[in-house]
C-alpha cells in the first residue's frame, strides 16, 4: 500500500514537473514573442441581427510559436495573467488594435469600433488610463472607435473599477461586459457602471437548441439587457437555428463562426468587401 502510494506520488510529482517545464518554456517564449513580434491579432466581426451590417470588430490575440506552433490564447493568456506579462502584452494588443482601426479609417472602412479584450490585471495597473489616452493620441484615433471588453471579475474590486470605468466613459471609450453570465456579478452594481454592452457567453448560445434551460437563460439575459438599455450581443453563433432563435428574441448583435471565424486583417478586409457588395 505504502509503496503504491509512493509510486503514485512519484508519478504525480513528475507530471507536475512536466507541466511546470512547459509553463516555464511558455513563459520564456512569451517574453520572446513580445520582443520578436510573434504575436498577432485576428479580427472577428460583430453583425447587426436585424440589418446584417457590421457594427463592431473584436481583436483576438494569436501566438505563432516557432517550436510549439500555434498556442491558443486559452493556454497563454492565463499564464500571462499569472506572471504579469499580460500588462506588456495587453499594451501591445491595445496599440496594435488602435493602429489597425486607424488604418481602416484612412482606407475609408466604415466606422465600427474595434473591441479589445482587457484582463483584470491590466485594469489594476496604475498607468492603464494614461496608456490608453497616450495610444489614442499617438494614433489620432477617436475614443468612440475603441471598445474595451472586460469581465465581471472587475467587480471584485468595485470601487477602483468603478473609478476607472467612469474615467474611460469620460474619455469616450466604449465598454462591454464579456462572458456575461459566467462570473461573479451583482446586477445592482452592474447597473451603476457606465457600460453600454453585454456579451452573452458562447457557452450559453451553443446549448441552443439542445438545452431548454440554457435557452431560457439566453432569453432572460436578452430581456434583462433590453430592459436596462444595454446593447446585447451573442457570441459563438454557429448555426442558422441559433441565429433565428436570437433574432426572435430580439438580440441586437451577433458574432460567431456562422458569419466568419476570426481572420487576419487582410482577410477581414476581403470579407468586408464581400459583405458590402453581397
Ligand atoms: P472571448 O473574449 O470570450 O472570445 C471569444 C472566443 O470564442 C474566441 O476564442 C473566438 O475565436 C471564439 N469564437 C468566436 N466565434 C466562435 C464560434 O462560433 N464558436 C466557437 N466555438 N468559438 C468561437 P479565442 O480567440 O481562442 O480566445 C479565447 C479567449 O482568450 C477570449 O475569449 C479571451 O478571453 C482571451 N483573449 C483573446 N485575445 C485576448 C487579448 O488580446 N487580451 C486578453 N486579455 N484576452 C484575450
Ligand atoms: Ca471577448
Ligand atoms: Ca466568451
Ligand atoms: Ca473572455
In this prediction the ipTM stands at 0.98
Which residue's CA lies nearest to atom 26 of ligand 1? 73
Best of 73, 84, 147, 148 for a ligand 1 pocket test (most atoms within 8 Å of beta carbon): 73
Q: Nearest CA to 113 among 89, 134, 144, 83?
A: 144
Q: Which residue has the cell 482606407?
A: 107
pLDDT tens track, the chain, 278 positions:
344 444 444 444 455 666 678 788 888 999 999 999 999 999 999 999 999 999 999 999 999 888 888 888 998 999 999 999 999 999 999 999 999 999 999 999 988 999 999 999 998 898 999 999 999 999 999 999 999 999 998 888 889 999 999 999 999 999 999 999 888 767 778 888 999 999 999 999 999 988 898 999 999 999 999 999 999 999 999 999 999 999 999 999 999 999 999 999 999 999 999 988 65
**CA 44/CA 268 separation, integer angstroms:** 8
Q: Which residues lie at CB < 5 A from ion ligand 4? A: 178-179
Separation of 3 CA from ligand 1 center, angstroms? 45
Q: Ligand 1: which atom is nearest the Cα of residue 61?
A: 38
Span from the CA of 127 to the centroid of ligand 4 (angstroms): 22
Confidence at residue 17, expressed as pLDDT on a 0 to 100 scale: 65
d(CA 89, CA 80): 8
pLDDT digits (tens, 9 = 90+) for 24-33: 888 899 999 9
The grid coordinates of residue 266 equal 487582410
Angle at Cα 102 formed by Cα 96 and Cα 108, nearest 5°? 140
Ligand 1 atom at shortest distance from the alpha carbon of 42: 25
Compute the half-sphere exposure of residue 238: CA atoms within 13 Å on the CB side of its CA.
9
What is the CB neighbour count within 10 angstroms for residue 175? Answer: 18
| pLDDT of 249 | 97
**Residue 117 grid cell:** 479584450
Top mutation candidate among 45, 59, 60 for ligand 1, by most atoms within 8 Å of CB = 60
Give ligand 1 pocket residues (Cβ under 6 A). 44, 60-61, 72-74, 77, 90, 93, 117-119, 178-179, 202, 235-238, 256-257, 262
Amino acid at each position: 500500500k505504502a509503496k503504491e502510494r509512493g509510486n503514485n506520488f512519484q508519478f504525480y510529482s513528475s507530471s507536475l514537473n512536466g507541466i511546470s517545464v512547459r509553463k516555464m518554456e511558455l513563459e520564456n517564449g512569451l517574453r520572446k514573442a513580445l520582443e520578436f513580434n510573434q504575436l498577432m491579432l485576428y479580427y472577428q466581426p460583430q453583425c447587426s441581427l436585424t440589418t446584417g451590417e457590421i457594427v463592431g470588430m473584436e481583436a483576438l490575440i494569436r501566438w505563432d510559436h516557432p517550436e510549439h506552433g500555434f498556442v491558443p490564447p486559452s493556454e497563454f493568456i492565463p499564464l500571462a495573467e499569472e506572471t504579469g506579462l499580460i500588462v506588456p502584452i495587453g499594451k501591445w494588443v491595445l496599440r496594435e488594435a488602435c493602429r489597425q482601426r486607424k488604418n481602416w479609417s484612412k482606407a475609408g472602412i466604415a466606422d465600427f469600433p474595434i473591441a479589445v479584450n482587457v484582463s483584470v490585471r491590466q485594469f489594476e495597473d496604475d498607468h492603464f488610463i494614461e496608456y490608453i489616452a497616450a495610444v489614442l493620441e499617438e494614433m489620432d484615433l477617436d475614443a468612440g472607435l475603441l471598445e474595451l471588453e472586460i469581465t465581471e471579475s472587475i467587480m471584485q474590486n468595485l470601487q477602483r473599477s468603478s473609478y476607472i470605468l467612469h474615467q474611460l466613459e469620460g474619455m469616450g471609450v466604449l465598454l462591454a461586459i464579456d462572458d456575461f453570465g459566467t462570473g461573479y456579478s451583482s446586477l445592482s452594481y452592474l447597473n451603476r457602471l457606465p457600460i453600454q454592452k453585454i456579451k452573452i457567453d458562447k457557452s450559453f448560445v451553443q446549448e441552443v437548441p439542445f438545452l431548454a434551460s440554457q435557452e431560457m437563460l439566453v432569453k432572460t439575459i436578452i430581456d434583462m439587457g433590453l430592459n436596462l438599455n444595454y446593447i446585447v450581443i451573442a457570441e459563438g453563433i454557429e448555426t442558422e437555428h441559433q441565429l433565428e432563435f436570437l433574432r426572435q428574441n430580439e438580440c441586437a448583435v451577433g458574432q460567431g463562426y456562422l458569419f466568419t471565424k476570426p481572420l487576419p486583417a487582410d482577410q477581414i478586409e476581403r470579407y468586408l468587401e464581400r459583405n458590402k457588395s453581397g
